[in-house]
A = this chain, B = another copy of it.
């Protein structure tokens, strides 16, 4: 495991925001970092060479999707995910837990694992902690997530406790089944929106955290204040000497609030998904490029952005591409949106080093949310 280590460089004097370096077998990651999501071993519409050009340090891939297509044994035969998708920088795979629980009626949970029907062809499958570890070993990402149960937002406390306990038992089984020293297993804190459960969970799972710990089950529909509260209550119990990963978070405010609460890594499909719908995040807020007001707007999408899209194209052109449903629209807006979030966390890292994270956040909010 000596291939993994976390170097804490600085903690902002006025907030809990921290910056550091996470060393992995496929290279160093400057934290806090945003991870673009490559669900099916591709960050939708972006060439790996483009992802590198815009400064992507690590990306995420989905175990559930890759298990079904092309099958993890194919990826293993290809020499692992890095070779398969031609990405030589760090990769993180989730455990597929969130996806199988999202299948609703198509899945059945027992203490042993989850039986589910494929959303593609209805075929039956089972995920257990042991099978998921095997699948994640086949995929060969640098960071692999434990198999957990993310209980639904709004469920009662009894169920939330049951799911949490199951998550903890599955974590024990994952840790036992995980044998590959080239991959770091991140345990996941659950507990739904119950403060005492969250604290119980972080205390339990941190014993399994070697060089990384994750917070799951947030940003699942709850009010933002509730999410921030959950992060506040677990914060004193999070280990200092390893990266902390807030799962599934990708809006600028959630990213910044997470960083303020000591989060080092986050991921979301948001930048590429909204790009495909013709929406951009810019330094002055969201832009729905289809709008008629951009018809003759020959200015760049974001005058403060240094990406290929903003340096070379106008809003009028982007609007034209979106209107014509051209693939290039998704590509250019994805380039911009991912760059935007990578620049957001880069700015955060620099601000933290200068103990000015609170100011950085305030200034960003003032422009982005006009508040």
Contacts and interface: CB of A to CB of B under 8 A. Distances in A.
Most interface-central of A298, A308, A323, A324 (chain B CB within 10 A): A324
Given A327-B331, A331-B331, A317 B85 contact: yes
Contact of A326 (B42, B77, B86, B324): B42
Q: How many A residues touch the partner, as a band? A: 35 or more
Nearest to A40: B324
A291 to B, nearest CB: 14
A331 B74 contact: no
A328 interface: yes
Contacts of A156: none
Most interface-central of A50, A330, A331 (chain B CB within 10 A): A331
The number of times this chain is found in the oligomer is: 2
B308 A40 contact: no
Contacts of A49: 308
A10 interface: no
A86 B328 contact: no
Given A44-B326, A44-B327, A84-B316, 17 more contacts: A40-B321, A40-B326, A41-B317, A42-B328, A44-B328, A45-B328, A47-B50, A49-B308, A70-B295, A70-B319, A70-B323, A74-B295, A74-B296, A78-B316, A84-B317, A85-B317, A86-B317
Interface of A: 40-42, 44-50, 65, 69-70, 74, 77-79, 84-86, 295-296, 298, 308, 312-314, 316-317, 319-321, 323-324, 326-328, 330-332
13 contacts: A40-B320, A44-B327, A45-B327, A45-B331, A70-B320, A74-B296, A74-B320, A77-B298, A78-B298, A79-B298, A84-B314, A84-B316, A327-B330
